[in-house]
Structure 1
Amino acid sequence: MRSLPALRILPALRALRAVPALRALLRVLLCATLPVLVAACATGPSLEDRGRVTAPPGDSRHLTIGSAGFTESDLLARMYSLLLEHAGYRTKVISVSNREIYEPALESGQIDVVPEYAATFADWLNARTHGPGAPIVGSPDLRATVRALRSLAEPRGLTVLDPGRAVDQNAFAVTGEFARAHHLRTLSDLGRSGIPVRLAAGDECVRRPYCAPGLEKTYGIRISGIDPKGVGTTQAKQAVRSGRDQLVLTTTTDATLDEFGLVILEDDKHLQNADYIVPVVNRSRAGGPAVTKALGRLNTVLTTQDLARLNERVDSWRRLPEDVARQYLRSKGLLPE
């Protein structure tokens, strides 16, 4: 049926406003026939531009927590989920192994909360905002790093909550046999050896300043290729143990290196910054005080040593991350028995 011109239906719409049962119909008709009002019918946050967030902090009761797909991130995501459920939220956890995918999803609200690493995320956002040649903003100074991170995150509609006590760093390991054969103790030793190495890591390692580019620039290490098996995964460590790869990207909280006969090469030129664990949330959906309070409870108890032990229970004892997370939170009085 042909629609009436907007000006002819306005008197009728004014009359409908007086009838309570038909008020909902008024909104539908306005949105369908008056294009200038369509924007007013939409819901959700808005950005006047990329530099200024206009939406107030939101408090959606259904939240999606993102994990980066490795053990430690899975554990943190599960702890966030359990703490938020205890605070009255409904949650689900999804795994997205690539920051280039999950960060845009965090901005758009497809993901609401992620556990991040302050220095690494600050540098990643800085490169995305200002280009790959932008100066590094992450540093061993936690306050300066978080300040820089917040200035980069806020224009994107993201809120960086307070960091906790636990800190992690990237680390690179080889087999003990390989280290002994080539007299390797530090990453500088590996660079001086001139031995080309295939690196088991995440596929994004080829672009990250603290991964392959940093190893090549800072240490002169010859990276012959990236084997995209993830950060510190069982598959990545098995690839090095078997000789398929020679170097693996893991973390300083990896408690399973001995099982694979691996040893960490010392980062003697301090390529890596201290990465404190920090929750990052979508401001329009999870930026309210209740989420901040729920996640902040973890900051008071979780230490680096705790995190290493939790990683071990998943990686060595083959426990499920959700079970390990729940047991830990109960042991600290953050969840009821």
Structure 2
Amino acid sequence: MQVRRILATLVATSAVLLAAACAGDDLPEGSSGSDSPSAGADKGAVKISGQNFPEATLVASMYEQLLDDAGYDASTTLVDTRDVYMADGQFPTGIQIVPEYVGGIVDFLNTTVNGQDAKALTTSDPAASIDAAQSLLDDKGITLLDPSEATDQNAFFVTKDFSEAQSVTKLSDLEGVSVVLAAAQDCTGRADCEAGLKDVYGIDITEVLPLGYASADTFKSVLDNESQLGQTSTTDGTLESQGLVLLEDDKAIQPAQNLVPAVSTEFLDAHPDVADTLNALMAALTTEKLTELNASISVDREQPEAVAKKFLEDEGLL
């Protein structure tokens, strides 16, 4: 009888161990059960949206990888324009997080709520711009986390030869100089484009060629000396390889466009740890680093997801 009891115990124990081993076979690749960092910390799904251009794709991938690592089931859907994920100034159901720019989201909320002719709330100071829009953000249920030092503003460039020959490194160096400007279709009359260059900097803009924002045609126009000044962004990673030089906006006609996570306030209240995760990323990014990362994508043709992962690992965030 004693022998039978021992045998029965051994059989039962073996069955339990076999079941545990089989259960381990069902875990996702790379998972190690309770020893996995995310095990026991399934915090649910989180949906990221944003605009579909290389830099936004890069930053959204950083968000997704960080949130996955923190125990969330993150996914991303990018769209063409801001009004798709903020049709009436607020996130639609199912969207919790968006990689944004301070000036972009503040201006959008302001004009959506107060009309196209509303007095601007943005300045060159990101904190002041956010404070000015706080009531709009509260009404729409959106919280902006810590803005990054990294900023992607509209900017203007010349050729390296022009810069050296004319001793031009900042926009104020062009005061009184006659130039043709290649820029976005809506540049004329804008305070951050043609109007600001004329009224604030005193540049003689003889013509605006509507060739597009940071487009191939704009670059070619400046390189061919059809125009002398072209419009792009402060994080354009292609300028050096093309022999072009970005000019400093030393009189600050551009509103603050610092990177900033925009989060559903309701979601953030339920998941406050998200703030620490994304704020750490914002603290790690600089305009210089972002420009280098963009160059890896636009010049070196690396995939945004791989560039994002390497940066996060190098910064000790992943």
* TM-score after normalising by structure 2: 0.70
Matched residue, 1:162: 146
- Identify which of 133, 136, 139 aligns with 2:120: 136
d(CA) in 2 for partners of 1:134 and 1:257? 35
Matched residue, 1:307: 290
Paired letter, 2:64: S
Matched residue, 1:52: none
Stretch of structure 1 that moved more, 206-215 or 274-283? 206-215
d(CA) in 2 for partners of 1:177 and 1:240? 11
Answering whether residue 69 of structure 2 is matched by residue 86 of structure 1, we say yes
Q: For 1:200-230, what per-residue CA distance to the aligned partner results, in whole angstroms no more than 9, with x for missing partners?
A: x4x66568642344335434535524223x4
- Identify which of 240, 248, 260 aligns with 1:278: 260
SS of match in other structure, 1:174: strand
Answering whether residue 133 of structure 2 is matched by residue 149 of structure 1, we say yes
SS of match in other structure, 1:291: helix
d(CA) in 2 for partners of 1:110 and 1:235? 38
Matched residue, 1:248: 230
Answering whether residue 216 of structure 2 is matched by residue 262 of structure 1, we say no
Paired letter, 2:208: S
Matched residue, 1:40: none
Count of matched residue positions in the alignment of Structure 1 and Structure 2: 272
In structure 2, the CA distance between the partners of 1:241 and 1:144, relative to structure 1 (3 Å rule), is same
Matched residue, 1:6: none
Q: For 1:226-283, what per-residue CA distance to the aligned partner results, in whole angstroms no more than 9, with x for missing partners?
A: 223x4x4667535543567654332333333121121223324321244322111233
Paired letter, 2:231: L
Answering whether residue 91 of structure 2 is matched by residue 107 of structure 1, we say yes
d(CA) in 2 for partners of 1:189 and 1:269? 11
Unaligned runs of 5+ in 2: 1-42
Cα RMSD (Å) = 3.4
Q: Is the 8 A contact 2:211 2:217 kept in 1?
A: no
Matched residue, 1:210: 192
d(CA) in 1 for partners of 2:226 and 2:136? 39
Paired letter, 1:118: V
d(CA) in 1 for partners of 2:252 and 2:100? 20
Paired letter, 1:318: R
SS of match in other structure, 1:172: strand
Q: Is the 8 A contact 2:124 2:252 kept in 1?
A: no
Offset of residue 66 of structure 1 = 1.3
Q: For 1:275-315, what per-residue CA distance to the aligned partner results, in whole angstroms no more than 9, with x for missing partners?
A: 32211123345663243233223134223332222122222
* TM-score after normalising by structure 1: 0.66
SS of match in other structure, 2:179: coil
d(CA) in 1 for partners of 2:110 and 2:275? 24
Offset of residue 149 of structure 1 = 3.2
SS of match in other structure, 1:325: helix
> Percent identity, aligned pairs only?
36
d(CA) in 2 for partners of 1:148 and 1:227? 34
Q: For 1:310-330, what per-residue CA distance to the aligned partner results, in whole angstroms no more than 9, with x for missing partners?
A: 122222222111100001111
In structure 2, the CA distance between the partners of 1:235 and 1:217, relative to structure 1 (3 Å rule), is same
Q: Is the 8 A contact 1:150 1:160 kept in 2?
A: no
Offset of residue 83 of structure 1 = 1.1
d(CA) in 1 for partners of 2:137 and 2:231? 26
